């Protein structure tokens, strides 16, 4: 999107490939969350929210955030896939279960293992912010294995739609053992319109409407 | 021996009460306390009315650098003898407000119509130095 068609090869070769939404864009969600895309490199997108917490995410929407870092405290964690191949989900038939394991390492040194099972449920056309777009639908479940019985114990589930064109999750429903929550994409502000005046007006309206 | 143990228990209980009181009661901060918290530090604040977060660096020379929604602005700050912190951005007149500690958390307050302190900003984090300069 950020590179002209004629320059696309040059952009890729120079490592300056662009994300689906241009770097510098600000996206807003129905739960009041606001994030800015800071960079896009080698399929990894660095987002920052209005509390300046940074999130490094994969282009593959089933992979949990690679890292999260709080601004002033520096606290956070990084995650890496240590087992399974979440990238295989696109090549496999719809409905195929893809299992993978992630190690979460907190910056404080504490480590934990997180098991995921995801499925691509198919795709549908939907109006997203005034434009009809193809959305891929995914469902993921996180679980732990019981120490003795090795039975799966539910921790959380996420069902979400993802637009490859935008490179964004459009809507998500999340459930844990205690609560259910969800949000949907409500606005994409292009980099040239991210003045404080413009953003604050939109954010105020969004958070007042919650 | 018995009296000594009872005295020790009573002292512990009273110490606990004192700790709870100092932690739970709302108290207005002095100028010295405000100075220690803000001067030369970057502070994360959360506006309780708008739910906006801002980061402000309080330079020891009286200059303030603030970032909200990825946009920065310059201003000035000062601390009055009664502990009020004053902030001014752009051409606007400085606003001076008291700060309180309540339950171990710091707030900026504004007196309401009845004179009670209404919390308007919660300070989430205080970090040494100019963290905004690193980004």
Residue B134 above 90 pLDDT?
no
Residue B49 above 60 pLDDT?
yes
Decide: residue A166, CB within 10 A, 0-12 exposed, 13-18 middle, 19+ buried.
buried
State how far the alpha carbon of B111 is from the alpha carbons of A54, A165, B79, B88, B120, in Å. 36, 51, 18, 19, 10
CATH number of domain containing A77 = 2.40.360
Q: Please name the residues between 40 and 99 in chain B that touch chain A, using a CB distance below 8 Å.
A: 42, 44, 50-53, 55, 67-71, 73
Domains of chain B: residue spans and CATH: 26-134 (2.40.128.640)
Segments forming the whole domain that contains residue A124:
5-208
Give the distance from residue A197's alpha carbon to the nearest chain B alpha carbon, in angstroms.
10
Give the distance from residue A170's alpha carbon to the nearest chain B alpha carbon, in angstroms.
22
Q: Does A26 contact B70 at a Cβ distance shorter than 8 Å? A: yes
Question: For chain A, what is the domain count?
Answer: 1
- List per-residue pLDDT tens for chain A, 210 residues long: 333 333 333 333 333 445 689 999 999 999 999 999 999 998 899 999 999 999 999 999 999 999 999 999 999 999 999 999 999 999 999 999 999 999 999 999 999 999 999 999 999 999 999 999 999 999 999 999 888 998 999 999 999 999 999 999 999 999 999 999 999 999 999 999 999 999 999 999 999 876
Check if the beta carbon of residue A132 is closer than 8 Å to that of residue A102.
no
Q: By the CB < 8 Å criterion, does A198 face chain B?
A: no
Q: Does A203 contact B44 at a Cβ distance shorter than 8 Å? A: no
pTM above 0.95, yes or no: no
Interface test with A, best of B42, B52, B70 (most A CBs within 10 A): B70
């Amino acid at each position: 999107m950020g590179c002209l068609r004629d320059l696309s090869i040059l952009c890729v070769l120079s490592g300056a490939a662009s994300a689906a939404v241009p770097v510098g864009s600000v996206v807003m969600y129905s739960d009041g969350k606001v994030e800015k895309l800071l960079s896009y490199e080698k399929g990894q997108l660095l987002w920052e929210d209005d509390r300046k917490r940074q999130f490094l995410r994969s282009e593959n929407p089933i992979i949990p955030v690679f890292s999260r870092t709080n601004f002033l405290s520096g606290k956070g964690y990084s995650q890496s896939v240590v087992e399974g191949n979440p990238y295989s989900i696109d090549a496999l038939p719809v409905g195929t279960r893809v299992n993978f394991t992630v190690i979460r390492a907190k910056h404080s040194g504490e480590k934990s293992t997180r098991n995921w099972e995801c499925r691509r449920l198919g795709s549908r056309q939907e109006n997203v912010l005034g434009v009809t777009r193809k959305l891929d639908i995914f469902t993921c479940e996180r679980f732990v294995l019981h120490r003795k019985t090795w039975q799966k114990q539910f921790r959380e589930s996420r069902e979400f739609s993802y637009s490859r064109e935008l490179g964004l999750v459009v809507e998500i429903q999340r459930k844990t053992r205690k609560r259910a929550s969800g949000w949907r994409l409500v606005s994409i502000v292009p980099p040239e319109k991210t003045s404080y005046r413009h953003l604050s007006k939109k954010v105020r309206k969004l958070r007042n409407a919650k | 021996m018995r009296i000594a143990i009872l005295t020790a228990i009573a002292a512990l209980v009273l110490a606990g009460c004192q700790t709870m009181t100092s932690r739970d009661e709302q108290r207005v901060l002095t100028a010295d306390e405000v100075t220690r918290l803000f001067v030369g530090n970057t502070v994360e604040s959360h506006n309780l009315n708008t739910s906006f977060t801002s980061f402000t660096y309080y330079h020891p020379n009286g200059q303030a650098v603030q970032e909200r929604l990825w946009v920065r602005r310059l201003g000035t700050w000062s601390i009055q003898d009664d502990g009020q912190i004053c902030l001014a951005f752009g051409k606007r007149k400085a606003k001076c407000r008291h700060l309180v500690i309540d339950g171990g958390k710091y707030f900026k307050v504004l007196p309401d119509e009845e004179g009670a302190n209404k919390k308007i900003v919660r300070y989430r984090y205080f970090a040494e130095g100019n963290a905004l300069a690193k980004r």
